[in-house]
Every structure is written in structure tokens, then in C-alpha cells.
Amino acid sequence: MRGFLVTGSVLLALAGSLAAPPAGPTDLPLPDRMADTGGGTQLITAEAPGTGATTGTVTWWDRRPEGWTAAGSAPARFGANGLAEGTTRTQGTDTTPTGLYDLPFAFGVGAPSPGTRYPYRRVDDRAWWCQDNESGSYNRWVRPLPADCRAAEAEHLVAYSAQYARALVIGFNYRRPVRGRGAGIFLHVDGKGATAGCVSVPAAAMDRILAWADPARRPHIAVGTASGPTAVTRY
């Protein structure tokens, strides 16, 4: 009889464990599953279903004593040719580089959103982003356009008044630029469709992100896919 009771207890315990499995890694918030979040207490994730996708989701997160909590999310658009590993990406491929990046500064054709704390550069007719691989100003905001940066190899920011109404610079290939890897990757307002390599969100979402982002909290952006070699969790 005692042996039967012990066996029954074991069976009940097994049944309970099968019915209610313990929380696994996939149950954790996305930032808690990442290899690195940049060390700050704010994070933006831009996740696509796969490398061929041109749409996905941007979520912005706060790290609190109890863990990472989503502060907001919005539909996102990526490059017209999907996403590519940032360390091997080639300029001019219309792909969004995956990886974990800082956010150096904000800029825009319009005034900064109410509550913006980021350093904000106002775009005017003299503001450009140099993408000329032969220029000393490669992958830099320039005002005015320097003599060694060809206009045909630069982006005249004011010409994109809708997309660059407000934007954040993504620090891809920014601190120590590698020629030919790519330049001018931003988080900006949606245009008519997929981007040339940036991440874009609706205008209202961009305003919310700028009102939320606090440079003192060292926010970063992680761009990647839901799984595979370019998964957001890898960065």
C-alpha cells in the first residue's frame, strides 16, 4: 500500500510538471534574451521576421529593478532588399544592417518633438550627409557640403522633408567608418515604402521615441531578425 502511494505521488508530480512547465528563455522579454543591450537602461529593438523581410516591429524598452519593460511599439520598415549582417554589409545594397548600435544624435527638418532631450540638429538647405567613400567626411553630417564630398555621393537632407521631419542617427559604421560598408543609416519617419537601408516608423511613433529617449540612460538600438545568424538575441 505504501509503495502504491509513493508511485501515485510521483505520477501526480510528473503530471503537474507537464501541465505547467517552468518559464523558459522564450518567455522572457526580448532584451533579457539578448547577448548585449549596450549597458544602458533604455533600448530600442527593431525586429524583422527574416533577412528578406521589409517590415517588422520596433519596440522601445526601459530597464527597471524588476527587469525590462516595453514602453511602446510600432510597425517598422526596413531596407528594400531586407536586412544584412552589419559587419559585412556592402554600401548601396538597400539592406538594413543588423547589429547593436548607439544613437549619436537626433536631427530633423522640423522642430524637435516636445520633450526631446537628445542633442538635436535642425536641417536646413546647407545640411548634407556625406556618403562619398573618397571624402574625409565619409558617413558624417556636414554643413555646408565640403569640397571633397561630391553632391552625387551625398544625401541632401532637406530634400526628404517627410522622412527626415525627425530622426535619430544609428551609429552603424560611425565611430570608425569602414569605406564601402555604408553610410547614413537612421531611425526616421516612414516614407512611401521600404527604405534604402534605414529603419522607419510612423511619424507619431517617432515623436514618442524622441520624447522617451534620454541620452543620460545610454539608449542603444538592436536591429535583427527573429531567429538565425542575424537574430536580435545574438547581439
What's residue 1's pLDDT? 36
pLDDT of residue 27: 86
Query: Residue 14: what pLDDT?
Result: 39
Q: What is the pLDDT of residues 16-69, one digit of tens each?
A: 444 434 444 568 999 999 999 999 999 999 999 999 999 999 999 999 998 999
DSSP 95-140: -EEEEEEE---EEESSPPPTT--S-EEE--TT-EEE--TTSTTTTE
CA distance 174 to 178: 9
Q: Mean pLDDT score of the chain, rounded to an integer?
A: 91
pLDDT at position 9 is 42
Structure confidence at residue 40 (pLDDT): 98
Tally of CB atoms within 10 A around 47: 22
Q: Which residues of the chain have pLDDT under 50?
A: 1-24
